[in-house]
Each structure stands twice: as structure tokens, then as C-alpha cells.
Structure 1
Amino acid sequence: MTGPIRVLLADDEPLYRATVRALLDAEPGVEVVAEAGTGREACALARRVPVDVAVLDVRMPDLDGIAATRHLTALPRAPKVLVLTTFDLDEAVYGTLRAGAAGFLLKDVPPARLLDAVRTVAAGEALLAPSVTRRLIADFVRAPRSPRRELDGVTAREREVLALITRGLSNTEIEQHLHLSRHTVKTHIGHLMAKLAARDRAQLVIAGYEAGLAGA
């Protein structure tokens, strides 16, 4: 990516929004280009202003985080969506990930963690390493409404890669674990995303849980 990471910040609490904006604007290579107080306003802004990462609150008036994420990820130049939530057991997070969010954080994370998250998401990775995230996704996909998923067309090696992604390993860790080059790992991930119709790494993790690979 050339130039600064362009961020859309959406939260219905002006004080919190101002605090996060000050933090992001002070970070070299990151620029808040738009602010919104509602989900609908965030979607309208994203259609007019080029955005790389949308940082959204889950609970917003006039389109909540789930609906806003669904709209944003359907745009021709869809931004990566990073969701912030107050409660780590908020079931809205499940729907947000389903809608295409690249991941989420709790609102009380240290500032450095939020900055790292914006950079991680902008680079095309998903923020799924924290154990709370894995637990939330696992709880969701293991529920009775989520039948076991078949991995049609996925090769044995791709299945190994998916299992490691599901366990929260980064690309570098997968390279080391399977003794593969970076290019090969990225190729396998690209094939998995195509075969499983996954928008991003977050949806690959969900697919892995649905296929029973969490403990593989």
C-alpha cells in the first residue's frame, strides 16, 4: 500500500470517537479521513471518500455494526472492517464477522494494540489471534444452527494450512510449521479463499471451525 492508511471512524459516542481519532492521527502513516456517528452515515461516507480501513462500533443507531459491515464490504472498493465492541460476549460480533469484518477488538484495548490492529487489517490480515476472538467464533459455529461444513475441492495441504489458520497462526508461523515458503503459503491461502468463497482470513477461520479443524 502506498501513502497513509485511510481510516473511516464510526462511533456514536463523540468523546470516544475524538479520543480514537487523536490516537490514529498521531500515528505516522495513518490518517482518519472521515468520521461518522451512525452506521448509515459511515456507509454514505465510504461511498464518497476512498477508505482503506473502517473502524466501527458494533452498536450504532440507524444501521448497527452488522448492517454497516454488510454494506461496506459490498462496495466496489470495499474497505477492510475492524469492529470495536464493549462486551466480549456480544453476539452481534458473530453477525459482524459473518458480514465480512476482518476482525474485532474490545474497546478497552491498549492504544498500541489498536494501532497494530489497523495496520494488520490494512495489510489484508485478520485480527483473530486473541483467545477471546477464537472462543467467540468457536461458540458460534459449534451451535446447533451451524452444521458441519464439507471442504469440497480442498487439497490435503490446503486443509493443513486452513487448520493452522483456524488455530490463529500467522503466515510466518505457518511457514515455519509446514516448512513452506512465504509465496507458497500465500498461494494456498488464496486458493482456500477462492474455494471456500471467503472474503478474508476471518471467514477462513469460521470455515475451519465449521469443518471441525479447531483442534486439528
Structure 2
Amino acid sequence: MTCNLLLVDDHSLIRAGVRALVLDIPGYAVVGEANDGAQLLELVEALAPDIVLLDLSMKHTGGLEALRRLKARRPQSKVLILSMHTDPDLIMQTLESGAHGYLLKDTTATELEQALAALRNNERYLSPAIAHTVINQALHLARNTPPPRHSLTARQLEILRLIVRGKSTREIANGLNLSIKTVEAHRSQIMKRLQIFDVAGLVLFAVREQIISLDD
């Protein structure tokens, strides 16, 4: 089944470049393009895209505000931020506002394909170039946040470490010699037990509980 994408960027050349990259990836189709947040909301309702590739720096309605409106209007559409910004506060805001992934604009075609595949499989994706930034920001926030109570098993903690490090379900399954369904079950149980359902929250929890360190 084809995965339908909507491109949102106020620079036509950027959209053309991303569209060309997407069209080289089997199983994806660009069904529409928007040049600002207002047009995005119109097209989302008309086209019902599976994934929205969203720039943060746009005229009129900015990307962050557009993201919040999009998630309120059509929460089932997954959002992959495509931005040149590496500011940790901004990245955390996008993740907390419902973005499923964050990719830098100087990314490679291979990384774009990996990010799209992750979102298509109901996973999240952080560009490796900013993963350390997110962990640092989570560590900073953790200093003023009381630790939650939890009862994760040793296996769940092991899988949580791999999730936070950006490993896909398939990579975790292969590395631990488990089935994909088993890993998915563990992932679901982890999120339910922690009551954390986004990657930013999982990173914050993992850093605060010293499940991972900045050296990871």
C-alpha cells in the first residue's frame, strides 16, 4: 500500500528537492504541497495524508503553531519535522507538540528513507545529529522534575535503552533475537506502565533514571 505524503515548506526549491528524493523511494507518493500553515490545514482535510513533512520556519502561521493545529485537526497524520534548526528548546517543543520525528535539512536520502519507514511503522525518528542535543535538554529538565514510580522488568529496561537510542523495532528484534511482535508488545507495555507516549518523554525518563548516560 502506498504511503501518502504532504510537503509543507515556503520555499518551492526545497519542496522540489524533497519531492524528488521521496519519489525515488518505493512505496511513497507526494499527494500535495503547501507553502504555509494555513494552506496546510486546508490540504490535510482534503487529502488526508499519512505523513506530513513540515518545515518550522514559514511566513504567516509558523511551523510549530501549524503542527499544534494539525494534531488537533487530524491527529492520525504523522508529522516529520524537516528543519535546519538545532535549538534544543525548539526540538523539545516540537516533540511535545506531537511531532513523530525530527530531521535536519542537510540529511541524506538514506536517512530520509529511514525516517519515513520509522513513521510508517508507528515508530519515532530523531536525526542522529540532534539525538545528543535532546538528551542534554532532557537532562537539564530532569533536575527540576520528580522521578516517576515504575516497575519495568530487566527486559523492558533493555528495550527502553534501545528505543531511546533510536533503534527501530526490527533492529531491536534482530539484536535481542526476539520476534517483532514480542518487541512491539514490550514497547506497548513500557509506555503504558510509564504513562509516557512520546520519544521526548522516554528520553527524559531514561536520563533521569540513569538508564542511559550522555555517553550513549
TM-score bucket of the superposed structures, by smaller chain:
0.7 to 0.9
The correspondence for 1:194, drawn from 189, 192, 200, is 192
Residue of structure 2 in register with 1:67 after alignment: 65
Aligned match of 1:175 in 161, 169, 173?
173
Among 129, 137, 140, the alignment partner of 1:140 is 137
Pair 85,174 (structure 1): closer, same or farther in 2 beyond 3 Å: same
The CA deviation string for residues 131-169 of structure 1, in whole angstroms up to 9 with x for no partner, is x23212112111147525324354443233212222333
Q: For the residues of structure 2 that align with 1:210 and 1:42, how far apart are their CA atoms?
A: 37
Mapped to 1, the partners of 2:156 and 2:65 lie a distance apart of 32
Q: Identify if the C-alpha distance between structure 1 residues 23 and 181 changes in structure 2 by more than 3 Å, giving closer, same or farther.
A: closer
Structure 1 equivalent of residue 91 of structure 2: 93
What pairs with 1:7-156 in structure 2 (closer than 5 Å)? 7-76=5-74, 78-89=76-87, 91-128=89-126, 130=128, 132-144=129-141, 147-156=145-154
Aligned residue for 2:111, secondary structure, equals helix
**Runs of 4+ in structure 1 over 6 Å off:** none
- Structure-1 residue corresponding to 2:2: 4
How high is the TM-score relative to the length of structure 2?
0.83
User: TM-score, normalized by length of structure 1?
Assistant: 0.83
Partner letter of residue 135 of structure 1?
A: H
> Out of 159, 162, 179, which is 1:164 matched to?
162
CA contact (8 A) 2:156 2:190 kept: yes
CA distance in 1, matches of 2:70, 2:209: 27
Q: Mark the runs of 5 or more structure 2 residues left unpaired by the alignment.
A: none
Structure 1 contact 65–96 (Cα < 8 Å) conserved: no
Rounded Cα–Cα distance in structure 2 between residues aligned with 1:157 and 1:115: 29
Q: Confirm or deny: 8 A CA contact 2:7 2:15 kept in the other structure.
A: yes
**Greater helix percent: which structure?**
2
SS across alignment from 2:125 = coil
Q: Identity of counterpart residues, as a percentage?
A: 33
Q: Aligned residue pairs: how many?
A: 213
Residues 19 and 208 of structure 1: is their aligned pair in 2 closer, same or farther, counting only changes over 3 Å? same
The one-letter amino acid paired with 1:143 is H
Is this contact kept in 1: 2:6–2:31, CA < 8 A?
yes
